[in-house]
Each structure stands twice: as C-alpha cells, then as structure tokens.
Amino acid sequence: MADPDDAGLTIERLTSLDPDTLAELVEGGRAALGDSALDEWLLPVIAAHGFLFTVRVGESLAGSAEVLRSVGDGEIYLEGFYVLPAHQGKGLGGILLAEVINIFSSQGYQRMLATLDPGNGSAKALYARAGFLDVDLLPDHYGTGRDRLLLAVELTWDKGLT
C-alpha cells in the first residue's frame, strides 16, 4: 500500500507539457488503457484548458488523471484515469483519485462524473470505494460494441481514500 506521506510519492497538476513529458504520458496512457488513452493531440489541450494530474514514484510516472469541466452546473468529468501496470495494486489509484476528488470538492464542484468499461472490475471497485455510484449504461458510447458505464460521486466531503 502506498503511503501518501512517502517523500517519493508526488501528485502534480500540469498546465503545459514539454515534448518529453507529453511522450511519457502518451506512452503511459497506451500501456495502461490501450487505444482508449488520450493522445498527443488531446493531452496538451487538457493540460492548458482542463486539469491534468500526474502521480510519480520518485522520478517515474505511475499514473495520470485528466479532468474536464462538464456542461452541467457544478459538475466535473474525469475523462481519463490510470495507474501504470507496474504500479497497480499498491494503493496509488486510491491516493490519486482521493486527491483529485478533494481538490474539486474544495473548489466547490458538486459532482464528478466518470465512465469506464463495464467489464473492468478493478476500476469499478476503485470507483466504488471512492463513493461513485452507477448512473447509466451508455451502449456503443465510443462506437459499436464499446459500451461505457457512467458513474457519479457527490463532492461534499473529504473521502480520505487509500
């Protein structure tokens, strides 16, 4: 289990991306999410106009969260979220998700939305621990046969996840 007070663990919001960091995020996203990962065209836009967070263990990228403002009043949308395979099962996903939830809760957002592959049991369990509830099944959301489960969590208190 990762310790959020561990000096080797850092969570940072990026507002711009140099070429090396962009390449690292693209590679990491593809390793964790395959073809559903955000790419070199979208990541700089999210960094500049949305919210892009990384979690690192030492100097190594361990995961990322990409967040957009939603069209709903007081809502935020977790567009992308991953922990690299080499860092999974160590509590980093819970730490990163809790930090992101706490940031937006403290900024007055009222609800966070996310989607996931309905067959991704480990992601569903992580989101459930964070208080996310199923809202809807979105058939063919990303094309034929690419369904997504829409989830939401109310942002009213510090979840303190680990």
Domains and CATH numbers, the chain: 9-154 (3.40.630.30)
Q: Tokens in use for 25?
A: 């995020």
Dig out the tokens for 50 from the structure.
């949305």
Report pLDDT for 72: 73
Quote the pLDDT of residue 162: 46
Residue 17 DSSP one-character state = -
Task: Write down the pLDDT at residue 29.
Answer: 95
Please tell me the predicted confidence (pLDDT) of residue 114.
Answer: 96
Q: Which two tokens stand for residue 160?
A: 């303190």
The token duo for 63 is 């995961």
pTM for this one? 0.89
Per-residue pLDDT of the chain (162 residues; tens, 9 = 90+): 345 556 589 999 999 999 999 999 999 999 999 988 999 999 999 999 999 999 999 999 999 999 999 877 899 999 999 999 999 999 999 999 999 999 999 999 999 999 999 999 999 999 999 999 999 999 999 889 999 999 999 997 545 554
Cβ-based neighbours of 128, under 8 Å, separated by 6 or more: none
How far, CA to CA in Å, does 147 sit from each of 34, 56, 158? 16, 31, 31
Angle of helix 92-106 versus helix 121-129 axis, rounded to 10? 50
